[in-house]
Amino acid sequence: METNLKLLQPISLGSYTLKNRIVMAPLTRNRAGAGNVPHAMNVTYYQQRASAGLIITEATQISPQGMGYPNTPGIHSPEQVAGWQRITEAVHAQDGRIFLQLWHVGRISHPSLQPNQALPVAPSAIAPDGMAATYEGEKPFVTPRELETEEISGIVEQYRQAAENAVAAGFDGVEIHSANGYLLDQFLHDGSNQRTDQYGGSIENRVRLLMEVTEAVTRVWGSERVGVRLSPSSSFGNMSDSDPTALFSYAIAQLNRFGLAYLHLVEPRIAGNVTLETNEGLGAKYFRPLYTGILITAGAYTRETGEAVLRANEADLVAYGRLFIANPDLPKRFALNAPLNPYDRNTFYGGDQGGYIDYPFLENQQLKTA
């Protein structure tokens, strides 16, 4: 067994000591039950992967308005809180740590998914390109409704209440999803935010909502149990900005003052669930000198490239997505340098236990071949 891998070394994260530096990345799987409630199959899925140093859950809508995809879990009803509580108890029984990712999709939704068939909300009335996923199949995105200035405090309250619900559900902390073209990311970028009030125009104004949400969530949890996820180079969800370097340098400098559990950065080679050839852009290596706290990097890492980024001190932890889907015992496989199960893209989103909780553990494979 490999004992010198930095990936397998413990690390302090706020008040916690994580058993390794391998993070299970947030992964939308579209397998929540009726009412967007986590159910028994989801309990098994997360419990299987509790050997991660930290699990960050799939993106979880903070309100009915925040929903953008079928069968994604929420954290706004008593039933959802109870469903997540069964998951946190199962992960803790395996000596795991788990943070809930807080999500509002903004314009990446469709009236058929919204309360009373309402328009999705956004910083500005600008429709994204592409198709929305609905219960009736793909439909063109609609032009969203621009949030009124006086409504924005209500969005902050949705995050605050969701953070309270996450406490009740037994999580170890929360991650604020401000990446990948969803609501908080839409406010950051001037391609999607053309407001003229205090939430638009200058970089300081466009970053304002993220700061207000972070302030509200840290008042619930304490800063040391809150993380923030950003994707500075991603165009997923039609994101664009006239000066992303200045935008994200400012945002990250402002996040420094909170003393967060971590900052989680999506590398430029990731666009949605697709790996690009390039690694040019704004990732962990660029922002390492600017951010004073713990840094998680996510971006199609392997055992070798994840180890290399830690050895180079470009990040403190490495998040794995697709490899964790197919290998519930990923840390053990890394420790033994054992073969990895291949993942099946066809079962990433929706369906039953196939491609979800039926990937084999290493010991079961070894027994079959013995």
> Active-site residue numbers?
182
CA–CA gap between residue 77 and residue 83 (Å, rounded): 10
CA distance 52 to 108: 30
**CA 203 to chain CA mean position, Å:** 23
- β-bridge mates for residue 297, sequence order: 265, 318
From 102, 89, 103, 99, select the one nearest 44 (Cα to Cα): 89
C-alpha closest to that of 58 among 90, 94, 30: 30
C-alpha radius of gyration, the chain, whole number: 19
Under DSSP, is residue 335 helix (H, G, I), strand (E, B) or coil? helix
CA distances from 352 to 32, 42, 66 (A): 10, 11, 24
Give the Cα separation of 203 and 190 in Å (integer): 9
- Distance, in Å, from the CA atom of 124 to the CA atom of 143, rounded to the nearest integer, reads 9
Task: Give CA angle at 99 (34, 51), nearest 5°.
Answer: 100
Tokens of 185: 């990311």
345: burial class by Cβ within 10 Å (0-12, 13-18, 19+)?
A: exposed
Q: CA quadruple 112, 115, 116, 122: dihedral positive or negative?
A: negative
> Is the C-alpha dihedral spanning 156, 161, 166, 172 positive or negative?
positive
